[in-house]
Amino acid sequence: MDLAMRGKLVDQDPNDEPANVLLDKIKAEKDQLVKEKKIKSLPEITDDEKPFDIPDSWEWVRLGDVLDVRDGTHDTPKYVSEGVPLITAKNLRNGEIDFSNIKYISENDAIKINERSQVSEGDVLFAMIGTIGNPVLVRTRNNFSIKNVALLKQIAFLNMNFVCQYILGSTKLLMKNASGGNQKFISLKKINKLPFPLPPLSEQSRIVSKLEQLFTLIG
C-alpha cells in the first residue's frame, strides 16, 4: 500500500495524461460547486505538508480539492423498531457495510440527514470517530443514513476505488490529525485538508488492479 501511494507499485506510462491536466479538469468542476456555495475553496498545499516524494506525473493536492467531502449527522436521532438503517462507525467492517447489528430511525429523520449527506453508489465512507478509517466503497445504494461517518463524493474524473485504498493505507495520517483522548475524532475540516497524492487517471486504475491482485494472493 505504501509503495502504491508513492508511485512505486506500478510503472509510469509516459503516454498517460499527467495529473496536472486531470487536476485542471477537476478544478473546473469544483469551481462551479464553489460558485454555487456547495463546497469551499481550500488553501494551496505547502511543501512542508507533503509527506513523501511522488512521480513527476503526479500532483500533491488536498483531499477536498478533488472530492466533495461531507459527513453524516453528529446528533443522535430517536431510534425506532422499524425504519431506515442508521450507519455508524461500528457498521463499517472489512470494506463492507455490516447491517447485522443496526439501529433504525424514522423516515422523517432520515430525510433530514440525507438532505446534506445522501450516500450514492460509488461514494466512499469511513469512520470519523473511535476506530478512525475502515473505508468502504459503496457498490450498491440501499436506503440508509449515516452518523459520525465521513462521506467522500466524486466531483469528476477520479477512480473512487483508488480513493478508498488511499484511506485504507492512511490510518496513521488520519490518527495524527485526530483530536480527543480515548475516543479519537477527526473533524470534517481536517479531512478536507488532508494531503492526497493524485496520479494520472489511467495509473489510478493500474494501481487498483495491482493491489486487488496482491490482496487476493495474500488473502
Query: pLDDT tens for residues 8-33?
Result: 999 999 999 999 999 988 888 888 77
CB neighbours of residue 167 within 10 Å: 25
List strands edge to edge, sheet with 84-87.
79-80, 103-105, 84-87, 145-146
d(CA 128, CA 155): 21
- Cα separation of 215 and 36, whole Å? 41
**For the chain, domain boundaries:** 2-218
Residue 196 β-bridge partners: 61
**Percent of all residues in the chain with a pLDDT value above 90, rounded to a whole number:** 77
* CA distances (Å), origin 184, targets 9, 92, 178, 188: 31, 16, 6, 13
For the chain, helix (H) and strand (E) counts, in that order, are 8, 12
Residue 50 in this model has a pLDDT that exceeds 70 = yes
Start-end of H helices in the chain: 2-5, 19-35, 63-66, 107-117, 160-168, 171-176, 188-193, 201-218
Q: How does pLDDT run across 74-115, given as a tens digit for each residue?
A: 999 999 999 999 999 999 999 999 998 899 999 999 999 999
Q: Can you tell me whether residue 87 is helix, strand or coil?
A: strand
Q: Sorting pLDDT into bands at 50, 70 and 90, what band is 186? A: very high
Q: Which amino acid is at 59?
A: E
Identify the DSSP state of 44. P
The dihedral built from the CA positions of residue 160, 120, 178 and 193, taken in this order, carries a sign that is: positive
Strand partners, 179: 185
CA–CA separation, 195 and 216 (whole Å)? 28
| Span between the terminal Cα atoms of the chain, in Å | 15
pLDDT tens across 127-167, in order? 999 889 999 999 987 889 999 999 999 988 899 999 999 99
Q: What is the mean pLDDT of residues 1-5?
A: 90
Q: Which fold has domain 2-218?
A: Adenine-n6-DNA-methyltransferase TaqI; Chain A, domain 2 (3.90.220)
